[in-house]
Every structure is written in structure tokens, then in C-alpha cells.
Amino acid sequence: MLICVLRSWGVMMRFEWVEFVVDDDMKRLASDYVCGLEKALKNKGLRNRFNSDWRENNLVGFVGELVFKKFLDGLGGVSYDWNVVVGCADDYDFLVCGKRVDVKTCLRNFPVGSIGDNFRLMVCDAQVGLHADFYFWVLLEGVSFGCVRRAFLVGGMSAERVGCFPVVDKSFGRTRWVGVDEVVCPNDFLFCLGD
């Protein structure tokens, strides 16, 4: 476990995030997945949705899932199923200890070490509590997918708790914004699943 001590506006804050290296094998697996996804969607007649943003978002999301899987594997003895669905949007990403977990991944183009406790994590409001019991956030550090070298497991929260946060209207839709200081750290997250 890496204890990140982050410096923001001269104040020391402590987040218990877990850091992983994003290697070329992970990027290759993500690229293979997205190519398969594109092919499956094209076979369904959905050809015109593949722009660079769509591709980048799917690459980033898949690497977030790989990092979460690597975290679970490193714990040893944790029962889980990875719900990799090719050709359609999935309802959740993992079934961990019988609970549905949706991994939310975002790309940050600034050093993750500069994040303060006012940083917000996002879940689309339409998804909250629909198919997942818990959400888990992963941050990738880099200006684009090709530049990503590090990933940080931030932590998780129950869908019920996420639903308590106010809805914010943004240009890209209605979202719930969760404070980074509100989530349960990665190494304590599995205890929440048992409740």
C-alpha cells in the first residue's frame, strides 16, 4: 500500500490510495478490448459512434478495471467475477463478495499528487443505484491514454451513499459529485462489502 501524502495550498493531506504502474501489457489488453468492442458494435450496425473521445474513454475505463482486478488479485483469497461485456454497455464491472461494483475511471492531466480534499469524483445520476451496489474510483495520471504511466485506486462508496449527494447539472448530463475525502480507502473497501 502506498500512503500518498498530498500537498495542496500549503496544507498536508493524507489519502490512503494504492498506486499501480500502467505498463504496455495493460495498454495492449485495453486496445484489444476496444478493437473487439468496435467490431461488435459495427456488426450491430452502430458504426458512426467511434470518435477519438469514445475510443479514449473506453481505453481509460478498461485500464481502470484492469487496475482494480490487479488490486483484488494482490489481496489473495477474494472471491470475484469480472463482468467483461463486449458489444454493449455493462451494468457493473465486478461481482465482489456477492456485491456488484462499478469501477469509475478518469484521466487527469495534472499530477495526481496535487489533488486536494476539495477534488470531486463523478457518477452519472442515471446510473446511481440502478445496477451497482458500490462504486470504486480509479484515477489515471496523464494528458492522454498513451501518456498514462501511473494509476491510483482512490476508494469506494455504496450506491446508497452516493445517492445522498446532490445532483449537479453539467453540459454532459446530470451527475452526482462525491468528495474525494468522503470515499472509503481501497484497503478498507472490502470490509464495506461485507456489511
Query: What value does the mean pLDDT take over residues 15-33?
Result: 88
**142-177, pLDDT tens digit by residue?**
878 888 888 988 888 888 888 887 788 766 667 777
**For the chain, domain boundaries:** 4-193
Residue 30, C-alpha cell as written in the block? 485495453
**47-102, pLDDT tens digit by residue?**
656 667 777 888 888 999 999 999 999 988 888 999 776 545 567 889 998 898 99
The residues near 15 (Cβ < 8 Å, ≥ 6 apart) are 4, 6, 115, 154, 180, 181, 185
Query: What value does the mean pLDDT take over residues 106-119?
Result: 69
> Does the pLDDT at position 27 exceed 80?
yes
d(CA 23, CA 53): 22
Predicted confidence band at 118 (pLDDT cuts at 50, 70, 90)? low
pLDDT of 58: 83
For the whole model, what pTM was predicted?
A: 0.80
d(CA 135, CA 170): 20
pLDDT of 130: 72
Rg (CA), the chain: 16
The answer to whether residues 156 and 183 touch, using CB atoms and an 8 Å cutoff, is: yes
pLDDT of 2: 33
Higher pLDDT, 185 or 85: 185
The answer to whether residues 68 and 153 touch, using CB atoms and an 8 Å cutoff, is: yes
